[in-house]
Amino acid sequence: MNLKKMSFISAFRRKSVFWKTFGMLSALTMVSLIVFAIFVNLLLVENQRSKIHELNQVQLRRIGEDVDLRFEILADNMSQELWSTDFVSGMVSPNGVTSEERQRIVSALAGYVSSNALVKKTLLYVSASNDVYSSVGNYLSLEYSTEKKLIEYYLANHDQERTSQEETDRKLFTYNQRLFQAMDFCVPNFIGVLFFEIDLDQLYQLIQDGDARNSSEVIQIYEKSNNSLFPQRDVYEKPDFSDSSLFMTDASLDSAEWYRYTSEITGWTFIREANTTGIVDSWSPVLSLMLPFLIAYAVLSQMFSLYITRSIYRPINRLMQITTQNGRQKREVSQPEAIQNEADYLELVYTDTLDQNTQHHQLMEAISNDIMEQLFRGVLSGKSMSQNYIQGALEGTGRKELFTGRYMALAGMLLLAEDRELTMVETGLYQRSIVGIINNLMDEHCKIFSFYPDKEVMAVVLCFPEDTSVIRAKQWINGFLQEIKNRTEDLPYQVLWGKGKFYNEITSLRYSYQEALAEVRYQRYMASDPEAVETGNAFDRKYYEERSHQVAEMAEKGSREEAESMADILISEIAECDPENARDYSELVMDVMIEKMISCHVSKVELKELGLFHNPEEIIRIMQENGLNAYMKEFYQKAIKAVQSGSKKNRYKYVEEAQDYLEAHYSNGNLTLNEVSEAIGISAPYLSGVFNEVKRETFSSYLNSFRVKRAKQFLEETNQSIAEIGYKCGFNSAQSFSRVFKKHTTFTPGQYRERKKGVGSSE
């Protein structure tokens, strides 16, 4: 196939990219037509199904709300009747009621039966006289009443629900397959109850909406206990109410077996079998409606597919012209049959170019590594280099991100298991093996550059991103060195490593390298004396670190004089060490103190204002000019003051957070010190201590004082009962409320309210 001048006409070949693309787009068009038709059909069917479900659900809810409304009306009528003069007289003073008043009560009860088809029978029970008034026209003692068992059942089972306040509250209950709505009368003690027996036949006709329905449209009702209200008329078995997937709701109209509505007034559950009759699943309406559109879509999509194919193919055609013009000859290959279309040919050209670029990249990588090695050699040796020079070198090698970050240098030395000299060949092999191990440990957390500044010492430069914390970087380095140790365990040598400190400027790597070099040389020197290794520098560092932690803790929790005295002793001990170790231990104890200041929320700005930042060059200069003792004493005086100030701010902050939490949750009668301490993130003993220190009172005393303060406001400004106010203010009992209130005010809650009302009226 001649690809030298690829044109649009020549694209129509059997294996051409153009032909394949156009064929796939055409096939995609046909598939999209089919999928679209199926989707439209499903959409119409689903829409119809959803509307049917929604209509049935709304209808069921309407019936349930209608039932609720009727019971609400009955409840209102019952409440009005209970407060009528005859009823109140009959219940409050039953012995003084005349026969005429009794007759009016009976007539009123009978009037509800005759005026409301839903009421089958009415009863009034008077607790003081133990009499029962009935709508059938009599009033008898409970002992002789035909409804004795009903009333005794109600009094026995609903006594715990009865409220002692001047309000009425209706209750729905069933007894021997009879349905009653009862309403207690309490002023404030219980003196009577009014019963309305509901006509179940009328209620059933009301719920079924008076229509003749088939079995799938019958509505069944279940009480709160999931027992059927009309067990004799149920046409299907009770469903499993614990399985929510069986029921549709207003929020979910997906396919299910039942429609359900639960009344918030009566607590009844109305259910009806799901019905999807009338849903059309036929294709013929969809096809007759959509056929003209589908034909138009097919024609337009084919034209659009042709346009897209030409647009896509245009850059391929252009690439073919570029690769075959300007004197270039088509490349010869060993298997010309492998080139079947334009894509194969372009892939061949791209692969060849990629190979050349890979070789070029490898060459640049090798040069880049040499440049980085020379750069770091100069930095570690202390060669004078400007920031601009270093930044330019890093940008030229494609590593400009290394110009900012955290830097540390490691120094490594070979140590043979046997006391013998290495040959040049062995040294070279061992050094190469260490470099290979380090190269295999590189990852995205750290950039590593390793080289040999001289024949026996290996330098490793570690560059961490600027946002990496020192603690995380140290953890990574410990894992890095441990991995090297694991990989060299079976080799005939071990590697001693020395670590420098972290620095935030790349030019300061020379200090880190000198520190690492001094440490590794000391390790090599002490390696021949096991006893010295056990009692050397590491032991002293641990000792001074622990002593500095003691000073920091004393500064936070003890007196300033005691902390400064302990710091003076520590400074004098460090001063007796040799100058190099004294500088090292001074940096160690200052790091511990700065860490304590940070934990006490001393800000970076405050640290800077106090001048508590330090670096090795500054410490060396101070040792030479003024002496380390004076510098360390001044440092500790400022640091101890900053720690105590930060600790004091923390204590006030914790107390304020505890007060805010108490004010938001004081009404919780189970509120404890542990709950508050967990909410603000400190221990309960520490919160108790700072609360006593700052507020000069215990936690429980402050909580009770605040609750009494709120209770006084409620007593003065509201008409709520004393018991209710005590509960809202978090007291667990009325006795506890009265005792604590009197302790803080010398009055009981009732006396306090009367006193305030008396003052207000006199004013």
What local confidence, expressed as pLDDT, does residue 718 receive? 87
What angle do helix axes 579-599 and 537-557 make, rounded to 10 degrees? Answer: 40
Longest Cα–Cα distance in the chain: 132
Contact 388, 469 (CB under 8 A): no
For 483-497, the pLDDT digits (tens) are: 888 887 777 777 888
Distance CA 114, CA 211 (A): 25
**Do residues 525 and 462 make contact, with C-beta atoms less than 8 angstroms apart?**
no
Query: What are the tokens at 84?
Result: 């009528």
**Angle, in degrees to the nearest 10, between helices 560-575 and 579-599:** 160
Q: Please state whether 145 falls in left (phi above 0), alpha (psi between -120 and 50) or beta.
A: beta
Q: Is the dihedral of CA 598, 603, 607, 613 positive or negative?
A: positive
In Å, how far from its chain's centre is CA 66? Answer: 43
| Strand runs labelled E in 145-252 | 168-175, 178-186, 190-198, 220-222, 247-248
**Residue 242 to residue 530: CA distance in whole angstroms:** 74
In degrees, rounded to 5, the angle at the alpha carbon of residue 595 between the alpha carbons of residues 594 and 597 is: 60
pLDDT < 70: residue spans in the chain: 1-18, 20, 159-169, 210-216, 249-255, 275-290, 313, 316, 320-321, 323-347, 349, 355-366, 416-422, 522, 525-540, 542-543, 556-559, 596, 598-628, 643-651, 758-763
> Do the beta carbons of residue 756 and residue 716 sit within 8 Å?
yes
Q: Which of 536, 412, 512 is nearest to 463 (CA)?
A: 512
Q: Are 86 and 64 in contact (CB under 8 A)?
A: no
Could you give phi then psi for residue 672, rounded to 5 degrees? Answer: -130, 170
CB-CB contact of 200 with 207 (8 Å): no
Strands 119-126, 190-198: pairing is: antiparallel
Hey, what are 443's tokens?
């990852």
Q: Comparing C-alpha atoms, which of 211, 232, 231, 227 is closest to residue 268? A: 227
Q: Are 305 and 25 in contact (CB under 8 A)?
A: yes
Give the residue carrying structure tokens 């803790």.
553
Q: Which residue has the tokens 């108490």?
A: 662
What is the C-alpha R_g of the chain? 46
Q: Cα separation of 307 and 293, whole Å?
A: 21
pLDDT of residue 122: 93
Helix (H) or strand (E) holding 745: helix 734-745
Going by C-beta distance under 8 Å and a sequence separation of 6 or more, which residues neighbour residue 139? 102, 105, 106, 131, 132, 133
CA distance 654 to 675: 14
Bridge-based pairing state of the strands 178-186 and 247-248 = unpaired
Asked if residue 492 has a cis previous peptide bond (ω within 30° of 0), the answer is no
What does the alpha-carbon distance between residue 687 and residue 318 come to, in Å, rounded to a whole number? 77
462 — alpha (psi -120 to 50), left (phi > 0) or beta?
beta
- Scored b (16 or more CB within 10 A) or e, 632-671 reads beebbebbbebbbebbeebbeebbebbbebbeeebeeeeb
User: How many DSSP H helices and E strands does the chain contain?
Assistant: 24, 14
Closest CA to 215 of 238, 235, 239, 237: 235
Paired tokens of 288: 């007759």
Question: Percent helix, strand and coil across the chain, each rounded to 5?
Answer: 60, 10, 25
Nearest Cα neighbor of 642 from 695, 563, 550 is: 563
Q: How many Cβ atoms from other residues are within 10 Å of residue 323's Cβ?
A: 20
Instruction: Count how many Cα atoms sit within 13 Å of the Cα of residue 65 in the half-sphere of its side chain.
Output: 6
For residue 143, what is the DSSP state?
G
- Cα distances from 759 to residues 15, 742, 754, in angstroms, run 104, 19, 9
Phi, psi of 581 (to 5 degrees): -70, -35
- Distance from C-alpha of 266 to C-alpha of 264, rounded to nearest angstrom: 6
Which tokens in the block code for residue 737?
């409320």
Across the strands, what pairs with 259? 248, 272
Strands 247-248 vs 258-262: parallel, antiparallel or unpaired: parallel
Which pLDDT belongs to residue 132? Answer: 92
Q: If we measure between CA atoms, which residue out of 658, 741, 661 comes closest to residue 705?
A: 741
Q: Which are the contacts of 110, defined by CB distance < 8 A and separation ≥ 6?
A: 122, 135, 136, 137
Task: For CA atoms 229, 231, 235, 237, give the dihedral sign.
Answer: positive
- For residue 195, what pLDDT is reported? 92
Instruction: Dihedral sign for Cα 539, 542, 546, 551, please.
Output: positive
Helices (H), 527-603: 530-535, 537-557, 560-575, 579-599
Residue 194's nearest CA partner among 249, 248, 126 is: 126
Q: Sheet harboring 190-198: ordered strands across?
A: 138-141, 131-134, 119-126, 190-198, 178-186, 168-175
3-state helix/strand/coil string of 313-370: HHHHHHHHHHHHCCCCCCCCCCCHHHCCCHHHHHHHHHHHHHHHHHHHHHHHHHHHHH
The 8-class DSSP code of residue 142 comes to: G
- Pair of tokens at residue 422: 């290495």
Q: What are phi and psi of 14, to 5 degrees?
A: -60, -45
- Please name the amino acid found at residue 74: L
Cα(140)–Cα(433) distance, integer angstroms: 111
- Find out whether 133 and 142 touch, Cβ atoms under 8 Å: no
CB 591 within 8 A of CB 551: no
